Amino acid sequence: MGLLTELRSSISRVTSKLFAPDSGPKRIGIYGPPNAGKTTLANRIARDWTGDAVGPESHVPHETRRARRKENVEIKRNGKSVSIDIVDTPGVTTKVDYKEFLEHDIEKEDAVRRSREATEGVAEAMHWLREDVDGVIYVLDSADDPFTQVNTMLIGIIESKDLPVLIFANKIDLEESSVQQIANAFPQHETVPLSALEGDNMDEVYDKIAEYFG
């Protein structure tokens, strides 16, 4: 009986380890349309807590054409610590036109290459959303109309996967910013105002990240 009891105990310990919840960092995808300030936000978070950046920022659309990941970002709030992996994803859109790049004095050959890479980046972002993230930060430009097909589609996918999501109304430093229009577009989710560029309201941003993803 002693041997049988010991065997059962060993099996129990093994299965407990196999099926225990993953205590590692949660993968948090930063999503949204192009030029909403996703990489600026990712860099702000990473620099504040690790001292490093995630990727280059630019006013040119689709500068982020591949998902970039910053691992083990530990955010400490109110005596609580949450560890996350930031996944900065390419801006999602229904169409990438190389002519968008020509408007920024980029040569046609380079513009075509960028548009092809950006299209592949959209597919990669969707793969991450469907397979590899534990939560979502959805970044919107508060100076733009949020009622778009892409925003509605992505929020719907996030909801269908039952992922925790925070909506960040970015660029509140702009005169034409309207946080309320973002809140009105998605009243089922909490909207947090911020300026990733200027660092405005980042205390609330970190409080909410710790609350939602901790």
pLDDT tens, N- to C-terminus, the chain (214 residues): 454 455 454 444 444 444 445 558 899 999 999 889 999 999 999 999 999 999 767 666 566 657 888 999 999 998 888 999 999 988 887 776 667 777 777 888 877 887 777 777 777 777 778 788 999 999 999 999 999 999 999 999 999 999 999 999 999 999 999 999 999 999 999 999 999 999 999 999 999 999 999 8
**How far is it, in rounded angstroms, from Cα 210 to Cα 76?**
8
Q: Indicate if the alpha-carbon torsion angle 191, 31, 196, 60 is positive or negative.
A: negative
User: How far is residue 179 from each of residues 29, 55, 65, 190, measured CA to CA in Å?
Assistant: 22, 26, 27, 11
pLDDT, residue 80, reads 82
Torsion of CA 86, 188, 214, 20, to 10 degrees: -100
Which residues on adjacent β-strands are paired with residue 193? 169
Backbone φ, ψ for residue 163 (5° rounding): -90, 140
pLDDT, residue 125, reads 79
pLDDT, residue 121, reads 74
pLDDT, residue 97, reads 66
E strands within 32-124?
68-77, 80-88
